[in-house]
Structure 1
Amino acid sequence: MADGQADSGVNRNPVSGSIALIRRWWRMVCREVDQVAVIEKVRGESGWTPRYVFMTCMSAGIAILGMLLSSPAVVIGAMLLSPLMGPILGIGFALAVGDFRWLRDAGRALGLGTIVAILFCAVIVAMSPLQTITSEIAARTRPNLFDLGVALFSALAGAYAMIRGRDGTIVGVAIATALMPPLAAIGFGLATFNWAVFGGALFLFFTNLMTIALTAAVMARVYGFSTYLSSKQSFAQSVVIVLVFVALAIPLGFSLRQISWEANATRQAQELVRDEFGDAARISQLDFDFDAEPITVTASVLTPEIVGGAEERAQRTLRRELGRMVNVDLRQFQVDTESTTDSAELALARMREQAAATREEIADLTDRLALIAGVNADEVTVDRNSRRAIVRVRALPGAELETYHALERRANARAEDWDVQVIPPAKELPALGVGEDGLDAAGRRNIDLAIWAAQRLAVPVGVSGSDAASAIVIERMREAGVDARRLPGEQPGFVALSWLAPDGGAQE
């Protein structure tokens, strides 16, 4: 009986025995950690210092320039320089040990650094001629549940590296979590008043911030860092951490669900087009505009045979499959054989590149002309086919016709291969000086200016002066296509020009 009792005391439950063994091993691991050295290291990197401010500004500047240029390599360089990981880890460790003074200092450093980075990026964007939403900016505006997972795993790695003295791992964590690019995107949204970009990037930064800080707190407590919190306070802290993760996961989950739906819609559209045209056809382009109402699908298909009614059938099928209103713009390009498909697709790609370049060129030209003329961009008329741009300028105080003529010459000099026409206000026409041999040098310059103004305004010009000089002026203007009309009156030494109403009488 005694032997049986002894055996029962030795043969413990395998599960509880394994747990006890793991606990003993973990206590040994925790004793290997120099907690004082780790805390001092984290505390030293989480404060507000001149180096921290300088590196934050440099990282922010590199990040926003890389995003404006859509250069991933430059953006990665900004991630490596960013010092924001320091105060975020400091917040996590301060929460774990219950040091609220440290928590306040680290939070102050993070808050001020965040504001400095956003404002610095906003200033750069405001001064930049490039204010287009690039792919690098757009990528930081739609956080989802996967972003939470990336931040979680990165935070685990970062906290482990800090506790175990593996500082080299922090570099990879800085790249993975990408703390600075979302701040740069926030600055872009602030400078351009694009609140969709501002809000999306702010949510991504907040997700990364909270995930890293709370995960660092959990890791520090798991490693047995001493705490000043009571058991109740420690339990309350654990509950808060769980609730924060759940609160972040819910909207990020909805965002992931929307992205998944969009990806599924794109896949269904691709399969539908393939079924409609067969294996011999190739989809050269398929674009969705999910923000449009209704959703717009644009597709280009290279096919050996034009299929009638394909666009209508695709539209009906997509509406039924997706349960949403969808407009389909299906463009078919016939190719003779499969061997010509590649060359046709290459030609289409070049056409799209040229069209995109032309749109950027027209937008740039429109903005420049609007700025020169002092009008809104929608008041500039652009004829893409004839490469002509026309803008009617507002009257400038003290400006004469020569000023507006100079504006047109300057605009044409900057817009290669474009015919820029500036329509001036109907300012007083210059007088034409007359010498013994006809118009003098100033008169010849002024008649060219008058012809230019009359051509732009398409208004008749009245000419008064001596018969011989008036005849020379009228002939010159009519050769240039200007409706010039003789008016009574004679002024010795010059010819006077004046604007006439289009239906006004003329005397030759």
Structure 2
Amino acid sequence: MALYRWWRLRLVGSVEHEKVIATIAEESGWSPRYLFMTIMSAGIAVLGLLLSSPAVVIGAMLISPLMNPILGLGFSLALFDFREMRRALIALGAGSVCAIAFTATIVALSPLQAPTSEIIARTRPNLFDLGVALFAALAGTFAIIRGRGGTIVGVAIATALMPPLAVVGYGLATWNLPVLGGALALFVTNFVTIALSATVMARFYGFGHFLSSQQSWTQTIVLMMVFVAMAIPLAFSLKRIATEAVTVTQVRSFLSDRFGSSARVTQLDVDFDARPITIRSVIITPRERMQRTPVLQSELARQLDEPLRLQLDQVLLEPGAGALEAQREELRQASSPAAAETARIAALARLISLAAGVPDDAITIDRDHRRAIAAAAPLPGAALSTYRALELRARGQAVDWNIAIVPPRAELPQIVFADGSDALDAAARDAALTSAWAARRWNIPVLAVPGLTQDNPETPTLAERRAMAVAAIVRAQGVEAVPAPDAGAAFRLAPAGNSVLAR
């Protein structure tokens, strides 16, 4: 009883409940200001992510108003105020949708679309993220209740609500589902943890103390179940990250032991997404300590108890070279054109693998002729034009390389003319170019064009004029065009010898 009286007098009694609730209700709803600040914050966040600028991303966190409806949701749960709960959820949902749509539009229009370190960092939520959101939310709720709103600035940075939403928009615009799913999981983890932590803190300070014991127990059970439900998958994610860190340490230790103390492991990269996992490393070692890569690969696979592929570059030092010479060689190796080219090719392979949806080792790299070829994995809902756009995007990142992404086999797109017209508008021209591009990628040398004739009539019909316009584009792309039966106003090309698939 004494503890209860102390709680009622010293904690609950020191809080102006009506004032706090009024402040929360005023800031947690939908308003033009809320919409404007959400969109501006989303725009700043996605630009900071694309530029890989932590300072810009932090600026977006500072002006993001998403914390307000989440706190409103937490307090409404503590009070069992379903009207305020619905109001906060509408504001949060509408703001999130607007932020995702705006960021997706910016990414779609941006020439910079390669995933940066800032983007990748927000695609793998784990148990630590839940802990950060929990502690930051408790601090933020305490600041609101005790009238110290300035602390909310630090809480906004710690919980990082807007950057994950911006990454969701990035994943939507680039149709990168793993990135989209990971960022969405991080956002959900943050906002649910903040809302439930606010509920706990609000109940601790006496908000909703008039509720029945049954309602209080219901809240307690629901809170515990939600936290457990979120903690289980995040714990698995944390375990995976920890396992990968241990593996990297084991690989480095193995290489250091095998090459000896006179050698130095200067670069080590382990690709856990490849099957088998791929290990790339550069080692500076005396010539007499040189090792055979296949032998090391077999021994390391046995030690890790899983298949792997080891790509090892050994920089050999002449006998008598000391530590100073090793450091000089390391600097030369890091700054040499060969090392820079190797790093660039590795980055190019990662870029193409993300665009094609395949692992790095599925990409064929021809260094001598500067060509890279990848057979794209089927993407749900993707048309041939999607794969062509992905290839053009990858080429824009490496203009001196010939990059080819081979799409899965599918019907060629329809080419539609306006009624009574033989002119190719932008959409029809793009469909013809996509058809020729797909034919080249599939090594199809000849396409059948509906309505095309062998001779050159003096007064061609509308269908013949249309066919000639399409054939000219196809031939300009290095693909032969041959006649096929007329398909009417809307038709599609087909490999020669196959039936024309007309609508």
Q: TM-score range by the shorter chain?
A: 0.5 to 0.7
1:293 aligns with 2:278: no
Cα shift at 1:308 = 4.3
1:138 partner amino acid: I
Q: In structure 2, the residue corresponding to 1:173 is in which secondary structure?
A: helix
1:298 partner amino acid: R
Q: Choose which of 171, 178, 186 in structure 2 pairs with 1:189.
A: 171
2:325 corresponds in structure 1 to 340
2:231 partner amino acid: A
Distance 1:280 1:361, change over 3 A: closer
Q: Encode CA deviations 1:357-390: one digit per residue, 9 max, x unaligned.
A: 57879989999xxx9xx99849x999x9xx6869
1:303 corresponds in structure 2 to 285
Q: Distance in 2 between matches of 1:271 and 1:159?
A: 46
Distance 1:366 1:228, change over 3 A: farther
1:33 aligns with 2:15: yes
- Amino-acid identity (%): 52
Q: Distance in 1 between matches of 2:311 and 2:189?
A: 38
Q: In structure 2, the residue corresponding to 1:28 is in which secondary structure?
A: helix
Higher mean C-alpha displacement, 172-181 vs 307-316: 307-316
Cα shift at 1:305 = 2.2
1:471 corresponds in structure 2 to none
Cα shift at 1:20 = 3.1
2:427 corresponds in structure 1 to none
1:153 corresponds in structure 2 to 135
2:153 corresponds in structure 1 to 171
Q: In structure 2, the residue corresponding to 1:168 is in which secondary structure?
A: helix
1:56 partner amino acid: T
Structure possessing the higher radius of gyration over alpha carbons: 1
2:216 partner amino acid: S
Q: In structure 1, the residue corresponding to 2:207 is in which secondary structure?
A: coil
1:129 corresponds in structure 2 to 111
2:365 corresponds in structure 1 to none
Higher mean C-alpha displacement, 95-104 vs 331-340: 331-340
Q: Choose which of 109, 126, 142 in structure 1 pairs with 2:124.
A: 142
Cα shift at 1:315 = 1.8
Distance 1:389 1:294, change over 3 A: closer
2:99 corresponds in structure 1 to 117
1:261 corresponds in structure 2 to 243
Cα shift at 1:233 = 2.0
Q: Distance in 2 between matches of 1:38 and 1:381?
A: 55
Cα shift at 1:48 = 0.3
- 1:51-450 paired onto structure 2 within 5 Å: 51-226=33-208, 229-335=211-317, 336-351=321-336, 352-356=339-343, 377=391
2:81 partner amino acid: D
* Contact 1:304–1:337 under 8 Å retained in 2: no
Q: Distance in 2 between matches of 1:164 and 1:375?
A: 54
1:208 partner amino acid: N
2:197 partner amino acid: T
Q: Encode CA deviations 1:115-163: one digit per residue, 9 max, x unaligned.
A: 0000000000000011111110001100000001000000110110110
1:320 partner amino acid: R
Q: Distance in 1 between matches of 2:285 and 2:38?
A: 54
* Contact 1:306–1:333 under 8 Å retained in 2: no
* Contact 1:56–1:83 under 8 Å retained in 2: yes
Q: TM-score normalized by structure 1? A: 0.67
Distance 1:234 1:330, change over 3 A: same
Distance 1:76 1:222, change over 3 A: same
Q: Distance in 1 between matches of 2:297 and 2:41?
A: 47
Q: Encode CA deviations 1:432-480: one digit per residue, 9 max, x unaligned.
A: xxxxxxxxxxxxxxxxxxxxxxxx99xxxxxxxxxxxxxxxxxxxxxxx
2:176 partner amino acid: N
* Contact 2:70–2:88 under 8 Å retained in 1: yes
2:324 partner amino acid: S
Q: Distance in 2 between matches of 1:20 and 1:319?
A: 64
* Contact 1:303–1:332 under 8 Å retained in 2: yes
Q: Once superposed, what is the RMSD of the aligned Cα atoms? A: 3.3
Q: Distance in 1 between matches of 2:114 and 2:273?
A: 18
Cα shift at 1:59 = 0.5
Q: Encode CA deviations 1:192-237: one digit per residue, 9 max, x unaligned.
A: 0000000000000000010000000010001111356432122112
Distance 1:22 1:338, change over 3 A: farther
In structure 2, stretches of 5+ residues that fail to align are 353-369, 373-384, 405-421, 425-476, 479-503
Q: Distance in 1 between matches of 2:73 and 2:389?
A: 51
* Contact 1:276–1:310 under 8 Å retained in 2: no
Cα shift at 1:345 = 1.7
Count matched residues: 372
Distance 1:124 1:264, change over 3 A: same
Q: Choose which of 4, 12, 27 in structure 2 pairs with 1:45.
A: 27
1:346 partner amino acid: L
Cα shift at 1:50 = 0.6
Q: TM-score normalized by structure 2? A: 0.68
Distance 1:150 1:359, change over 3 A: closer
